[in-house]
Chain A
Amino acid sequence: MEKILIVEDEWSILKALGEKFTREGFQVLKTIDGRQGLEIALREHPDIILLDVIMPNVDGLAMLKVLREDAWGKNAPVIILTNLTDTEKLNASTQMSGYEYLVKSDWKIADVVSKVKAKLAQAHSKKTAPPETS
Chain B
Amino acid sequence: METTVTNQETNKHIRELERMKTDFVSIASHQLRTPLTAINWYVEMLLSGDAGQLTQDQRSYLQEIEISTKRMVTLVNDLLNVSRIETGRLKIEPVSIDIVAFAKDVIHELMPWAQAKSCSIKLNVSQESLPYIPIDASLMRQVIDNLLTNAIRYSSPLKECDIALTLTLQNEGIAPEANDPFVPSSSLIIAVSDKGIGIPQESQPRIFEKFFRADNAATTEVRGSGLGLYLAKMIVEASGGKIWFESQEGEGATFYVAIPMQGMVKKAGERGLIV
Contact = CB atoms under 8 A, between A and B. Distances in A.
Interface of A: 10, 12-13, 16, 19-20, 23, 83-87, 103-106, 108-110
Contacts of B29: 85
Given A20-B50, A106-B138, A108-B40, A83 B45 contact: no
Interface string B45-58: 10010100000000
Contact of A109 (B45, B77, B138): B45
Given A10-B38, A19-B45, A105-B77, 10 more contacts: A12-B35, A20-B45, A20-B50, A23-B50, A83-B37, A85-B26, A85-B29, A108-B40, A109-B41, A109-B44
Nearest to A103: B138
B94 to A, nearest CB: 15
B91 interface: yes
What is the predominant secondary structure among interface residues of chain B facing chain A?
helix
Interface string B23-49: 000100110011111101110110010
Given A16-B42, A23-B50, A104 B30 contact: no
A104 B80 contact: no
A23 B138 CA distance: 29
B190 to A, nearest CB: 20
A106 to B, nearest CB: 7
A10 B31 CA distance: 11
29 contacts: A10-B34, A10-B38, A12-B35, A12-B42, A13-B34, A13-B38, A16-B38, A16-B45, A20-B41, A83-B33, A83-B34, A83-B37, A85-B26, A85-B30, A85-B33, A86-B26, A103-B138, A104-B33, A104-B34, A105-B34, A105-B36, A105-B73, A105-B76, A105-B77, A108-B40, A108-B41, A109-B41, A109-B44, A110-B44
Contacts of B41: 13, 16, 20, 108-109
A14 to B, nearest CB: 10
B5 to A, nearest CB: 34
Contacts of A87: 89, 91
Nearest to B80: A85
Contact of A105 (B37, B42, B45): B37
A109 to B, nearest CB: 4
Interface residues of B, number: 23
Contact of B37 (A19, A20, A104, A110): A104
Interface string B64-81: 000000000100110010
Closest A-B pairs by Cβ, 10 of them? A12-B38, A109-B41, A105-B33, A83-B33, A16-B41, A104-B37, A105-B37, A83-B34, A10-B34, A109-B44
Nearest to B81: A85
Nearest to B109: A108
Contacts of B26: 85-86
A130 B144 CA distance: 45
Contacts of B44: 108-110
Nearest to B83: A85
A84 B26 CA distance: 10
Given A10-B38, A13-B34, A108-B44, A19 B138 contact: no
A99 to B, nearest CB: 15
